[in-house]
Structure 1
Amino acid sequence: MDTCIDRLTNTTNGNLSTSAISYICGQFTDAGYAIDTTYLLFSAYLVFAMQLGFAMLCAGSVRSKNTMNILLTNVLDAAIGSIFYYLFGYAFAFGGPSNGFIGKQFFGLKEIGTIDGFDYSNFLFQWAFAIAAAGITSGSIAERTQFVSYLIYSSFLTGFVYPVVAHWFWAEDGWASPFNTDNLLFGSGAIDFAGSGVVHMVGGLAGLCGAYIEGPRIGRFVVVDGKRRSVVLRGHSATLVVLGTLLLWFGWYGFNPGSFNKIFVSYGTGGTINGQWSGVGRAAVTTTLAGSSAALTTLFGKRFISGHWNVTDVCNGLLGGLAAITSGCSVVDPWAAIICGFVAACVLIGCNILAEKLQYDDPLEAAQLHGGCGIWGLIFTGLFADEKYVIQVYNRKPGTPYGLFMGGGGKLLGAQVIQILVITGWVFVLMGSLFFTLNKIGLLRISEKDEMTGMDLARHGGLAYTYRDDYDTYNNDEVGDRENNGDCV
């Protein structure tokens, strides 16, 4: 507001009274807050719509006998995340002033709104991110996990594991945050604008821990002629996979551009088109191009490998590109986003080949997609971040570290690598310990009989679909034979 008063005083040459100038600037400031709050709330609604996308993607990617189970877990990810992020998560993530490791204000939203930038709209936006991380994890451990385990890990992930990582890289006093101007890591902090690491790596690596500890689904890898071979257990609905993918793509326009938090910010002295609104538009464009590039690369890459044009593979490739660009969407040019998507698709294909060789089973490729492509996204930002965008978005002075390939040296890339290492260690230690403990006390994996029958009938009282044809016979012996033959039930 002080800047507004100075500008208006100079413009009018003192012809307006001080009270009139203060009133005009006050109205202008109130309008700015209203515009920014409306923009942030709209973005939060878009990000929350991604939960519907996750639900549809997960449902289509599992066999029909487990549809009810996976849909329920997606609903409860949001519900559980709401309570635990309200009680603890938001405080651990953004409760400042605090130390570099963890926040310590705003538990239960107490005193929320007393500090500029921390109000109910900011909580809602950040909550939508927290439940997205939990939704990623549920896909990795689908079709074989006890329901109580979902409740436990979702509470722990949204209430503590994810928020602490968010504090490190997004809070103004986080030890590696680019907003912490008093203690920048390598002079730059780690740039993870919308969460390739904070959201996607955390969710993907948590899922990796769970899926590895409980092992593959029955029938996923079988012994043939003395050799253990991979059997594809296809999801039951490509229609739901495509619907979920497009819903996620739509929601990503809140996820990435919305992470500016504010739109009513000028990068100049006024009267210019160069403001935060232009950065928002650029983030939307880079998001679009990265996802599209990844989809096309996957289309032709999988056609070369398997000989088929596979829509579900293309959907996963698209999502891999979107996960990768999430880190640098605001600080790279559109041409760089195309490179990001191309490499992300290659990373996903490579991770899937490696997972099959290691006999790792992830029904939604969530660890490969969100974990692998999230890691690439952080590295990509360290290579391609443009100096002028870093200065604008993070309010830096000329000379700040930026992308290695753009002439900015290796400091930013070093900070990105540090982020990858600490997130990996944090998630593996905490979530690995949790899943290991659940497995030891018998709360992680369902019984073999229930898994063969299907979780909908065994644990949820009925099927997700009202019809039953000859193929959907749920006799245990028959289902077991089909599972062992690699058929989809």
Structure 2
Amino acid sequence: MDVSWESSVTDSINTIYLLFSAYLVFVMQLGFAMLCAGSVRAKNAMNIMLTNVVDAVVGSISYYLFGFAFAFGGSSNPFIGTSYFALASIPDGTYDYSFFLYQWAFAIAVAGITSGSVAERTQFTTYLIFSFFLTGFVYPIVAHWVWSSSGWLSPSSSNLLFGSGAIDFAGSGVVHMVGAVAGLWGSFIEGPRVGRFDAFGKPVPMRGHNATLVVLGTFLLWFGWFGFNPGSFDKILVSYPSTSDQGNWTAIGRTAVTTTLAGSTAGIVTLFGRRLIVGHWDALDVCNGLLGGFVAVTSGCSVVEPWAAIVCGFVSAWILIGLNVLALQLQFDDPLEATQLHGGCGAWGLIFTGLFAKEEFVIQAYDSGESGVTRPYGLFLGGGWGLLGSQVVELLSIVAWVTITMGPLFYALHKLRILRISVEEEVAGLDISSHGGYAYAAHPEENQPRFYAEYMRLQSNYS
């Protein structure tokens, strides 16, 4: 067979696979939109759906102009890509547009996480500012650290941290923790929504208005996760040693299974765990538990056994439940539990990988199954401290980096009085104050005198 023809076929199959995975990850934006819309009150549904659209629109421009270059621009700099415009060349020196599209789909997911944390009380124009900054600069730097071959945390670097590098295969830290820490600072600086806690500091329920949308969004996110995790093998066909009977196709299938098992385990544990706490079965809690399991396993999905994924999901469920209880005690208000879910479960995912990664799978994922290679792997499997140490360093580095970038930005916006909407607008709802009307023709809160009075007052101001 002609070698050049075989190479062309291989490249074509890999490109199709990567593009298909990018489309699946992009579907997650629809999942985020539906999940967020159902999780907020009806008077803010239009606003939260618009922010999800803006994540994709603004993210496209910022990631094209700056983000991709900072993340994967051709350079040997371990901290930042140094090609400063648009589609900077990736390490092999070519312009790979399918790779750009896949990475863009990841970038816009970060802003979607943050939007949930600051929902129902943030000025829309200000949202455009921090969404652009997060997608174009903050997230890409972390992506360079871990996913660029020259990154200082990369497991593919020529100078491996602790002889290992950090394994964050699809982004428990790079994607989910970055969005969560940004959301943490935004939510903390803005403060709780009006009426979320009473005069004695006790939480007042503010349930979302549409459980159907929450469940729909959860299943769309589950579907998209099969591009998020298995798709992070950006090549389905690679050169493996002739003695090996395995290839990426084996690892891709296993990754899909570990993803499913971790999410499912977290969902069922959350179902029974919350039943013990609140006294009834709650579909919305199960949806968040399910997503927490997916977030946690995203780091090690390619390098752990299916049984370990079940352990991952079990622990992530209790982490989410515990952090939600703690958030209420601290009067921390995150309408979608995004900080607890993506931050807490994402952090656990990094640690989990350092404990349970299997050496054979690490070599398969990062050394193309090359024989004779030894690498640090999970501490609980006898692999030493190298990998776990790298995971902890990644975790702490992400918290520090996002804190020193997004924290001051949110604080500056707060001091300029352009971060949070007024109390009157918040009571009336962002839809009527900022977007020309409610998302629904028959708004369920229009019959409540308090909301309707605010609605009429604001209408008179605009007329």
SS at match of 1:213: helix
Output the CA distance in 2 between the equivalents of 1:349 and 1:261.
Answer: 34
Q: Does 1:248 align with 2:221?
A: yes
SS at match of 1:364: coil
Q: State the AA in 2 paired with 1:190.
A: A
1:82 aligned to which of 44, 54, 60: 60
2:174 aligned to which of 191, 194, 198: 198
SS at match of 2:8: helix
- Aligned residues of 2:431 and 2:437 also touching (Cα < 8 A): yes
Compute the displacement of 1:479 (Å).
7.6
Match runs of 1:317-336 below 5 Å: 317-336=289-308
Q: Any unmatched runs of 5+ in structure 1?
A: 1-20, 481-489
- Aligned residues of 1:351 and 1:368 also touching (Cα < 8 A): yes
Output the CA distance in 1 between the equivalents of 2:241 and 2:195.
Answer: 61
Output the CA distance in 2 between the equivalents of 1:265 and 1:117.
Answer: 18
Match runs of 1:134-173 below 5 Å: 134-173=111-150
Compute the displacement of 1:66 (Å).
0.2
Report which of the two structures shows the higher radius of gyration computed on alpha carbons: 1
Query: In structure 2, do the counterparts of structure 1 residues 326 and 349 end up closer, same or farther at CA, with 3 Å as the change threshold?
Result: same
Q: Which residue of 2 aligns with 1:369?
A: 341
SS at match of 2:198: strand
Output the CA distance in 1 between the equivalents of 2:385 and 2:219.
Answer: 36
Aligned-pair identity in percent equals 64
Q: State the AA in 1 paired with 2:288.
A: N
1:303-356 superposed Cα distances (whole Å, 9 cap, x missing partner): 111111000000000000000000000000000000000000011001101100
- Aligned residues of 2:72 and 2:91 also touching (Cα < 8 A): no
Output the CA distance in 1 between the equivalents of 2:443 and 2:396.
Answer: 49
Q: Which residue of 1 aligns with 2:359?
A: 387
Match runs of 1:102-117 below 5 Å: 102-105=80-83, 107-109=85-87, 112=89, 115=92
1:427 aligned to which of 386, 402, 412: 402
Q: Any unmatched runs of 5+ in structure 2?
A: 455-463
1:108-157 superposed Cα distances (whole Å, 9 cap, x missing partner): 125x4793675000000000000000000000000000001210011000
State how many pairs are aligned.
Answer: 451
Query: In structure 2, do the counterparts of structure 1 residues 114 and 211 end up closer, same or farther at CA, with 3 Å as the change threshold?
Result: closer
Q: State the AA in 2 paired with 1:472.
A: E
Compute the displacement of 1:40 (Å).
0.2
Q: Which residue of 1 aligns with 2:458?
A: none
Output the CA distance in 2 between the equivalents of 1:50 and 1:233.
Answer: 25
1:188-246 superposed Cα distances (whole Å, 9 cap, x missing partner): 000000000000000011000000000000110002xxx32111100000000000000
Compute the displacement of 1:104 (Å).
1.4
Compute the displacement of 1:184 (Å).
0.4
Q: Which moved more, 1:393-402 or 1:52-61?
A: 393-402
SS at match of 2:201: strand
Task: Please provide the CA RMSD for this pair.
Answer: 1.6
SS at match of 1:443: coil
Output the CA distance in 1 between the equivalents of 2:374 and 2:145.
Answer: 24
Q: Which residue of 2 aligns with 1:218?
A: 194
Q: Which residue of 2 aligns with 1:282?
A: 254
- Aligned residues of 2:201 and 2:331 also touching (Cα < 8 A): no
- TM norm structure 2: 0.95
Q: State the AA in 2 paired with 1:58.
A: C
Output the CA distance in 1 between the equivalents of 2:310 and 2:240.
Answer: 26
Compute the displacement of 1:177 (Å).
0.5
Output the CA distance in 1 between the equivalents of 2:41 and 2:297.
Answer: 31
Compute the displacement of 1:385 (Å).
0.2
2:241 aligned to which of 258, 265, 268: 268
- Aligned residues of 2:376 and 2:387 also touching (Cα < 8 A): yes
